[in-house]
Amino acid sequence: MSEKNTPTPHIGAKYGEIAETVIMAGDPLRAKFMAEKYLENPVCFNEVRGMLGYTGTYKGKRVSMMGHGMGMPSIGLYTYELYHFYGVKVIIRVGSAGSIHKDLNIGDLVLAQGACTDSNYADQYNLDGMFAPIGDFDLLCKAAEKCKSMGLNYKVGNVVSSDLFYRENPNTKGWMNMGVLAVEMEIAALYMNAARSGNRALGILTVSDHILTGEATTAEQRKTTFTNMMEVALSLI
């Protein structure tokens, strides 16, 4: 890592303009909302491809917030550059997920202990078997304690990171039978990038829709009302 590697092809910041801890959201407008709501003196460090990023302070601690887009190729690209070129040590994803658990309802939180996937993202590592992407244990424990102190409804466990939002032949029963809590699209790649770079990551999700019941939230609600997971994430910096 050095200043000569930045800006990167996808992030317009110079080395040093991004904090060692980055809270990321799929929607760049959610990153903008978080920065404006929680950060003191936020400064925009990236507008390349509309993937907004900001650095400021929260309770005296420096932190950055940035979008990562949809799907594992997108979050994989941005988190690789953050870990490898900007000296980032911790990335926390705050995102939405579809519940496939009968006791997880709209607005409840999921702390992703591990991430199953239908993606071939791990093929690049040329492993002799299957890799199990897991979150950072210390971050996970602290997030669970914060959820308890806030009186939130939450569960800790596996999610499934899918490459497909619109699936030709949807079949969630198999994942449900294995105790998987929710479906999302990015955390497995985040955890693999963290593992390969020797850094830390955690996924904190809010249930935005329930695949079993058909309940769902709007895009505006997902952008501006899922503040519990944001406050849990900020407690970890």
Q: Please give the pLDDT value at position 1.
A: 54
Q: How confident is the model at residue 4 (pLDDT cuts 50, 70, 90)?
A: confident
The whole-angstrom separation of Cα 188 and Cα 56 is 28
Is omega for the bond preceding 7 within 30 degrees of 0, making it cis? yes
Domain of 214? 3-234
Q: What mean pLDDT do residues 9-26 have?
A: 97
Q: Please give the pLDDT value at position 170.
A: 76
CATH classification of the domain holding 203: 3.40.50.1580
Q: What is the distance of C-alpha 233 from the center of its chain?
A: 10
Between 4 and 53, the higher pLDDT residue: 53
The whole-angstrom separation of Cα 74 and Cα 25 is 12
Q: What mean pLDDT do residues 119-127 have?
A: 97
Q: How high does pLDDT run on average in the chain?
A: 95
DSSP of 4-33: GG-S-SS--PPTTSS-SEEEEESSHHHHHH
> How many separate domains does the chain show?
1
- Burial class from Cβ neighbours inside 10 Å (0-12, 13-18, 19+) for residue 24 reads buried
Task: Give the DSSP letter of residue 213.
Answer: T
Q: What is the pLDDT of residues 81-118, one digit of tens each?
A: 999 999 999 999 999 999 999 999 999 999 999 999 99
Catalytic sites, residue numbers = 209
Q: What is the pLDDT of residues 152-202, one digit of tens each?
A: 999 999 999 999 998 888 788 999 999 999 999 999 999 999 999 999 999
